[in-house]
């Protein structure tokens, strides 16, 4: 740990205020190049705590940077996680106010809802399959607070892994009824196909991502409780959206999701 408690608190406010009031900030490693990954998660957890003190409910978790392509692009070998606040959640068919966001991008994901607790270390895919109540389709809207969506891994962790909004709904399924690796998605914007993908893009199998999250959380003595909603990571590349765009994502066996940026 390189940062003291006061600096953690200051940086938590720096990132969280930018998220709430949607403005761009300079990445924090510019000023604190020696900060550690532990510092970065301390900043994220402090911002989360501050939200909860103000009455915001934390409704789930997300994994980010789960594809080899994204990790390679950032020069890192590990994914990252973030939390989902109550106001991030939007219904299928939502009109999403783009003026409340900075430079949003959409990505297709599978959401898991747990029926049993998951606890690391040593959590593996078998534990995830038996602890999952159901899965359902989701579209994550990521929105880095950093200027031009440019950051390094420590800065993005502190910024809650670019979490912003998500749409979920569609058809829920028991996990044993789908082939999680070959599950295909087609993303259209304004009717045009912009992304195609298979869920194996997420660490070979999205359930692996959930196990990894449980193991990462165990380093802080945290667990994934029964009932937790988790975004497992992007199946497609993230695509920028602008005012007026209509997004449709069709998921094999899970129905489709729609949203419009207004």
User: CA 50 to CA 74: how far, in whole Å?
Assistant: 29
Q: Which of residues 227-256 bind Mg ion (CB under 5 A)?
A: 234
Question: Which listed residue (102, 136, 216, 234) binds ligand 0L1 by CB under 6 A?
Answer: 234
Shortest separation between residue 197's beta carbon and Mg ion, angstroms: 13
Residue with Cβ nearer ligand 0L1 (212 or 238): 238
Q: Does 16 bind ligand 0L1 (CB under 6 A)?
A: no
Q: Is 65 in the site for ligand 0L1 (CB under 6 A)?
A: yes
CB of 238 to ligand 0L1, least distance (A): 6
Binding to ligand 0L1 (CB under 6 A): which residues in 72-131?
A: none
Give 97: exposed, middle or buried? Use CB within 10 Å, 0-12, 13-18, 19+: exposed
Cα–Cα distance for residue pair 118/127, rounded to 1 Å:
7
Other CB atoms closer than 10 Å to residue 204's CB: what's the count? Answer: 15
Interatomic CA distance for residues 8 and 185, integer angstroms = 39
Instruction: Tell me how far, at minimum, the Cβ of 55 lies from Mg ion, in Å.
Output: 26
Q: Is 140 in the site for Mg ion (CB under 5 A)?
A: yes
DSSP readout, 126-177?
Answer: HHHHHHEEEEEEEEEEE---BGGG---HHHHHHTGGG--EEEE-S--B-GGG
13: tokens are 């406010």
By beta-carbon distance, which residue lies closest to ligand 0L1? 64
At 219, list the tokens.
């380093």
SS3 label, residue 45:
helix
Query: Smaller CB distance to ligand 0L1: residue 42 or 155?
Result: 155
CB of 102 to ligand 0L1, least distance (A): 11
Instruction: Give whichever of 162 and 195 is closer to ligand 0L1, judged by the CB atom.
Output: 162
Pick 114 or 142: Cβ nearer ligand 0L1: 142
For 230-252, b/e burial (b = at least 16 CB within 10 A) is: bbbbbbbbbbebeeebebbbbbe
Q: Which residues are near ligand 0L1 by CB under 6 A?
A: 64-65, 140, 142, 144, 156, 161-162, 233-234, 238
Q: Which residues are near Mg ion by CB under 5 A?
A: 140, 234
């Amino acid at each position: 740990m390189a940062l003291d408690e006061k600096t953690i608190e200051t940086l938590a406010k720096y990132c969280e205020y930018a998220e709430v009031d949607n403005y761009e900030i300079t990445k924090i490693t510019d000023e604190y190049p020696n900060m550690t990954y532990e510092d970065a998660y301390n900043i994220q957890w402090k911002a989360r705590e501050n939200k909860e003190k103000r009455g915001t409910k934390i409704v789930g978790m997300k994994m980010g940077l789960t594809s080899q392509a994204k990790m390679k692009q950032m020069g890192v070998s590990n994914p990252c996680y973030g939390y989902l606040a109550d106001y991030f959640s939007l219904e299928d068919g939502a009109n999403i106010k783009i003026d409340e966001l900075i430079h949003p991008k959409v990505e297709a994901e599978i959401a898991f809802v747990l029926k049993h607790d998951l606890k690391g270390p040593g959590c593996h895919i078998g534990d995830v399959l038996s602890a999952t109540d159901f899965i359902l389709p989701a579209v994550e809207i990521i929105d880095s607070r950093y200027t031009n969506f440019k950051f390094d891994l420590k800065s993005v962790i502190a910024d809650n892994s670019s979490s912003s909004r998500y749409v979920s709904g569609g058809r829920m399924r028991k996990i044993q009824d789908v082939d999680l690796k070959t599950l295909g998605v087609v993303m259209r914007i304004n009717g045009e196909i912009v992304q195609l993908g298979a869920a194996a893009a997420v660490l070979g199998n999205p359930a692996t991502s959930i196990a990894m999250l449980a193991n990462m959380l165990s380093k802080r003595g945290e667990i994934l409780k029964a009932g937790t909603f988790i975004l497992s990571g992007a199946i497609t590349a993230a695509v920028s959206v602008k005012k007026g765009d209509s997004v449709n994502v069709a998921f094999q066996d899970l129905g489709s999701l729609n949203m419009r940026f207004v």
